[in-house]
Amino acid sequence: MQVIGWALAVGVTLFVAGAQNPQRPDGPALFRERCADCHGADAKGDRGPDVTRLWMNDGADERAMKTIRTGVAGSIMPPSSAPDEEIRAIVAYLRSRSRPVAHRRQPVESGAHAGDS
């Protein structure tokens, strides 16, 4: 009887833990399954463009979500009906793969010298 009580307690604990921590979509696996055929296994482009350069400007997550959701008219990029959680997982994966952006130095105006105020 004590074994049944222990097993029941463990089962309830695992059930509650699973409900509180639902499994998150696997961004890398979703990318490989749905995107890599066109964007390449490394996301740096193939038939589709390099998507590691999306994070050069602010708002890239929202633009990427919208592009994945709506597709690109006149291209091979179809719209997606995937749940938002899966699209967010793909976007997070792509952001993790993004290339660092080197900040460009502002050109010195003619007649000014570097260090002048």
Here the CATH number for the domain that contains residue 82 is 1.10.760.10
- pLDDT: is 55 or 13 the higher one? 55
Question: Do the domain assignments include residue 112?
Answer: no
- pLDDT: is 111 or 85 the higher one? 85
Question: Do the domain assignments include residue 40?
Answer: yes
Q: How many helices (H) and strands (E) does the chain have?
A: 5, 0
Dist CA 31 CA 21 (whole Å): 22
Dist CA 90 CA 82 (whole Å): 11
Q: What is the predicted pLDDT for the residue at 10? A: 43
Question: Do the domain assignments include residue 87?
Answer: yes
User: Does pLDDT of 16 surpass 60?
Assistant: no
Mean local confidence (pLDDT), 45-58: 87
Question: Do the domain assignments include residue 88?
Answer: yes
33, 84 Cβ separation under 8 angstroms: no
Domain that holds residue 70: 25-97
pLDDT, one tens digit per residue, over 64-110 is 999 999 999 999 999 999 999 999 999 999 999 887 655 544 555 55
User: Does pLDDT of 115 surpass 60?
Assistant: no
- 17 — pLDDT class (breaks 50, 70, 90): very low
Question: Do the domain assignments include residue 5?
Answer: no
Question: Do the domain assignments include residue 7?
Answer: no
44, 50 Cβ separation under 8 angstroms: yes
* Whether this model's pTM surpasses 0.85: no
Q: What is the predicted pLDDT for the residue at 4? A: 55
Dist CA 46 CA 82 (whole Å): 22
List of residues 6+ apart from 38 with CB closer than 8 A: 46, 47, 48, 76, 77
Question: Do the domain assignments include residue 11?
Answer: no
Q: What is the predicted pLDDT for the residue at 5? A: 47
Number of domains present in the structure of the chain:
1
